């Protein structure tokens, strides 16, 4: 197995850098990567404290540093240590400068500034947490997206991920013995999406959940025939209401969220100005 040290240096929270690294590393199944995360590097004094760690754990240095002097100092240290250093946003920024005909602002953390989009994300997160697991049906019409599915079909983590992208999301568990509130079938603004998964995989997830909680592992909750009926019940509801369905069996939360966002964007693209979603 190939093992490398990956140093991530950012003058902000490092969230963007981590996402870039994660996306790139997903292409290498056999790599053993030791990550060293260095956020909020905004001075050469801070950088000097990191350099010994670079020397003790040589590897690839990936960075997003907009301050010219700090960036040049890092690049100089990397040359002296014979370490490869890559500016994660450099090529994209230069391309945008050429297309837009203006110079980029060298402001650390600019993507995280407290603008309207920031407050929209905060509001979306607060809404989503308040409407988790079928709670707050009277507020569902305010949602952008409603996720429906049987227990342990990744509704809550997917909802939180989408909320961090600025979408107000409510989610509701589908239980055979307890039909969802009638309002679910009367919503106009939100897009309702059904999440489903293979019964075998669902049984495995539920068993692990029970073990984590130190609860009895042999109940109807994990009985295969029962779980299969639950999944069929949910699928019939999705089909009867013409809701889009996403099978999360082999999808990560990020992949599921990306598919939902695509559906949401396509839905709104079909709506003419002044019309309401249907």
Domains plus CATH for the chain?
2-111 (3.40.50.2300), 116-269 (3.40.50)
- What's the pLDDT at 29? 73
Distance of CA 86 to the CA centre of its chain: 24
Q: Which two tokens stand for residue 250?
A: 């082999």
b/e map of 134-170 (b: 16 or more CB within 10 Å)? beebeebeebbbbbbbbbbbbbbebbbbbbeebbbbb
Q: What is the CA radius of gyration of the chain?
A: 23
Q: Which two tokens stand for residue 116?
A: 């309207």
3-class SS of residue 199: helix
The closest alpha carbon to 83, from 113, 50, 55, belongs to 55
pLDDT in tens, 62-102: 998 888 899 999 999 999 999 999 988 777 666 766 766 76
Binding residues for ADP are: 149-156
Q: Could you read off the pLDDT tens digit of each residue along the chain, which spans 278 residues?
A: 567 899 999 988 788 888 888 888 887 777 788 889 988 888 899 999 999 999 999 999 999 888 889 999 999 999 999 999 998 877 766 676 676 676 666 555 454 444 567 678 889 999 999 999 999 999 999 999 999 999 999 999 999 989 988 899 999 999 999 999 999 999 999 999 999 999 999 999 999 888 888 877 778 899 999 999 999 999 999 999 999 999 999 998 988 999 999 999 988 877 655 555 55
Q: How many CB atoms lie within 10 A of CB 211?
A: 10
Binding residues are: 149-156
């Amino acid at each position: 197995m190939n093992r490398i040290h990956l140093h991530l240096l950012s003058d902000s929270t490092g969230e963007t850098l981590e996402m870039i690294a994660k996306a790139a590393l997903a292409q290498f199944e056999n790599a053993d990567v030791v990550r060293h995360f260095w956020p909020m590097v905004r001075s050469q004094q801070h950088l000097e404290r990191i350099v010994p760690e670079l020397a003790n754990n040589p590897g690839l240095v990936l960075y997003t540093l907009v301050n010219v002097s700090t960036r040049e100092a890092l690049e100089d240290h990397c040359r002296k240590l014979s370490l490869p250093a890559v500016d994660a946003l450099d090529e994209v920024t230069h391309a945008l400068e050429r297309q837009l005909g203006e110079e980029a602002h060298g402001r650390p953390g600019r993507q995280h500034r407290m603008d309207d989009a920031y407050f929209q994300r905060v509001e979306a997160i607060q809404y989503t947490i308040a409407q988790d697991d079928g709670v707050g049906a009277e507020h569902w019409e305010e949602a952008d997206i409603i996720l429906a599915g049987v227990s342990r079909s990744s509704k809550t983590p997917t909802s939180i991920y989408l909320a961090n992208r600025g979408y107000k999301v409510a989610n509701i568990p589908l239980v055979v013995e307890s039909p969802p509130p009638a309002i679910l079938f009367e919503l106009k603004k939100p897009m309702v999406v059904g999440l489903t998964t293979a019964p075998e995989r669902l049984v495995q997830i539920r068993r692990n959940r029970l073990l984590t909680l130190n609860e009895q592992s042999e109940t109807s909750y994990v009985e295969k025939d029962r779980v299969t009926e639950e999944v069929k019940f949910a699928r019939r509801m999705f089909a009867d209401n013409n809701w889009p369905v996403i099978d999360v069996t082999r999808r990560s939360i990020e992949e599921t969220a990306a598919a939902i966002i695509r559906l949401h964007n396509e839905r709104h693209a079909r709506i003419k100005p002044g019309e309401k979603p249907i």
